[in-house]
Chains A and B, each alone.
Chain A
């Protein structure tokens, strides 16, 4: 009974999200373009996420380096520490962790904001005043997430590598230029490009799921809370699924 209900709910959610995605693409190319709102959302989503993402990226780089160091020393490859940390951060940990934090901060905020607007009839008021609320609220937010997450990933990677440099120097002495030379000498274009491309997909998924959950929030404050929560949960799962898919694609293309 429970399994059947869960399956029905999963299929219904998947269908709803697919229809929502179709609506997003239909509205994306239709005038009028909400440029001012898009820029405002880029500022809110990108700039205001930077402190949290910067802090977590710094700690992540530092901790990763400190935890890898003993094993690297044990295997006699301590000199390869910057290269290893660099590849791990650029290829996988940077984009995925940044996207997960982004889902937690921005996905939930979009879900709660749109959910609250829905239950207080603000979305209806917008429609009545001759505004297409889907274009104004959804398309602008999804596009802002799509373009801002890759920027945040790049900044997060840079901050994370700086954290790693500090980590290396806590129990050793490596110059700034030597550390970054070792990092970049061991990075190939095929390490950077797939990671950068997949961050666009992660951003798109976080924006779309946050908007979907908020836009179809059920009545009441409980519904708003549930929308915010499930926006984070679903977006996090989708990030991992997209990551899995990205690995398969890059593998198949021979750039892994």
Chain B
């Protein structure tokens, strides 16, 4: 397996401590070996995009990182904690510091936007003053430009608005890391661009690190400090957009020339 490491000088974020370290990760579904010794490091304040074809195991990777899927082998450290060895309570504490934007948004369709946003806070704060909670909800909705939707049901919102609300929900706990699963999938180019801008704004405002799973090359180009190319279950290449797009490797070029 060819591992390219074209970035000779470290990116500024690389001097920051690692917030996610994935080492030698394996995961199979029956005879389908999805991850075959995958490695990844995400540093504080960095945006890393995992690029790969559909069905290459990108979503499996972030679900392993958040503890929704147990890996067959390998080690995942998030904010210094080994995810696979944590008790449920300790895992929940780590999860409170991670935001997860699902590809399908995963908004609770029986709850209003307000209740969706309050839900993670209510789960982690036993005592919370309603006025304070209301202020937080409105502030986060203002960040995503959808304050007027506060009492609407998710079903009455467009796909792009649902994506923004889902992002607002992840921001409620001020996460140190945000995991984005195909954030621009299924959106028109204009709405997709709005989501990309929002991802960058969130990084600037909250200082959170981000791991983005995507095969949308525009999203990759505009957001990535560093790209990790997932191919055949391994990190085939890593580098900045410019570095990888200038590579002569045919496997890498098929992503950048398509």
Contact = CB atoms under 8 A, between A and B. Distances in A.
Interface string A106-127: 0000000100110011101111
B100 A125 contact: yes
B68 A130 contact: no
A121 B98 CA distance: 17
A131 interface: yes
A113 B110 CA distance: 10
Contacts, number: 45
A194 to B, nearest CB: 37
A117 B124 CA distance: 21
A121 B119 contact: no
Contact of B106 (A113, A124, A130): A124
A129 B104 contact: no
A122 B106 contact: yes
A132 interface: yes
A127 B68 contact: yes
Contacts of B72: none
Q: How large is the interface on B (under 10, 10 to 19, 20 to 34, 35 or more residues)?
A: 20 to 34
A19 interface: no
Contacts of A120: 104, 106, 109
A110 B211 CA distance: 35
A116 B110 CA distance: 11
Contact of A128 (B88, B95, B103, B110): B95
B108 A125 contact: yes
A80 to B, nearest CB: 50
A116 B119 CA distance: 19
Given A120-B109, A121-B102, A121-B106, A129 B120 contact: yes
A130 B109 contact: no
Contact of B100 (A122, A128, A132): A128
A127 B95 CA distance: 9
B70 to A, nearest CB: 13
Most buried by A among B63, B66, B108, B124: B108
A130 B124 contact: yes
B232 interface: no
A125 B68 CA distance: 10
Nearest to A120: B104
A130 to B, nearest CB: 4
B102 A130 contact: no
A128 B173 CA distance: 12
Contacts of B63: 124
A129 B102 contact: no
Interface in B96-115: 96, 98, 100, 102-104, 106-110
Interface in A4-56: none
Contacts of A131: 119, 123
Nearest to A136: B123
B216 interface: no
Interface in A119-174: 120-122, 124-132
Contacts of B66: 128
Interface in A199-253: none
A120 B63 CA distance: 15
A133 B125 CA distance: 17
A144 to B, nearest CB: 15
B88 A129 contact: no
B104 A121 contact: yes
Contacts of B110: 113
Given A129-B120, A132-B88, A124 B96 contact: no
Contacts of A128: 66, 68, 95, 98, 100
B82 interface: no
Nearest to B108: A122
19 contacts: A117-B108, A120-B109, A121-B102, A121-B106, A122-B106, A122-B107, A122-B108, A125-B102, A125-B106, A125-B108, A127-B68, A128-B66, A129-B95, A130-B92, A130-B95, A130-B96, A130-B123, A131-B119, A132-B88
Interface of B: 63, 66, 68, 88, 92-93, 95-96, 98, 100, 102-104, 106-110, 119-120, 123-124
Top 8 closest pairs, chain A to chain B, by CB: A125-B106, A130-B92, A129-B120, A121-B106, A128-B100, A121-B102, A130-B123, A131-B123
Interface of A: 113, 116-117, 120-122, 124-132
Given A120-B109, A128-B66, 13 more contacts: A116-B109, A117-B108, A120-B104, A121-B102, A125-B100, A125-B102, A125-B108, A127-B68, A129-B95, A129-B123, A130-B92, A130-B95, A131-B119
